[in-house]
Each structure stands twice: as structure tokens, then as C-alpha cells.
Amino acid sequence: MIHALADGGEQSAGELGARFRSAQPTISRHLKVLESARLIERSVDGRVHRFRLRRESLEAAGAWIRRHEAFWTGAVDQLEQLLLETER
């Protein structure tokens, strides 16, 4: 869904749902989770709810993931080195 919003700008829930083989309640729940995570935002025009990607939030999430990935990669490398040393 994030990819769909990144490609298409602002889209309605129906437009997003048409891209996936999921029931409307499933699409709504997914959108609510993304909205709660502040990765997307909603605007309402009458009965139509439109969603757009919050790129700044997505970039912040990506930075957080990269920092933690670097930490865990380093930790796994250290563990691997320790295991190799204990095998000798």
C-alpha cells in the first residue's frame, strides 16, 4: 500500500483496495495501522476518504531501521567472531 501511494500521490480507499485482493475491511484496517504509525495521512472530501504518503515519516522510519540494522549486524558479526574463537 505504501508503494501504491508513493507511485500515485493521493488515492481513495477504494482506489487502493482495487489494487489488492483483500476485502474492504482488511484494507481499512491496514490503512488505519499506517495512519496510526503516521506513515500516511487522511483527508475527507464528503464521503470520500483520500490518503497520501507522509514521506518525511517514511524517511525517518528508514533512518531508524538503518541505525538498528547497523547495530544488529555488528552484534551478529561479534557473536560470529566469538563462536569462531571458541571453536579453536
- Mean pLDDT across the chain, nearest whole number? 90
Give the length of the chain: 88
Spatial separation of the C-alpha atoms in residues 26 and 42, rounded to whole Å: 17
Share of the chain above pLDDT 70, in %: 99
- Nine cell digits for residue 2: 505504501
pTM recorded for the entire structure: 0.68
- Asked if the model's pLDDT at residue 88 lies above 80, the reply is no
Spatial separation of the C-alpha atoms in residues 80 and 38, rounded to whole Å: 37
Work out the end-to-end distance of the chain between its first and last CA atoms, rounded to an integer number of angstroms: 49
C-beta separation of 40 from 54 below 8 A: yes
Spatial separation of the C-alpha atoms in residues 3 and 88, rounded to whole Å: 48
Overall average pLDDT of the 61-74 stretch: 90
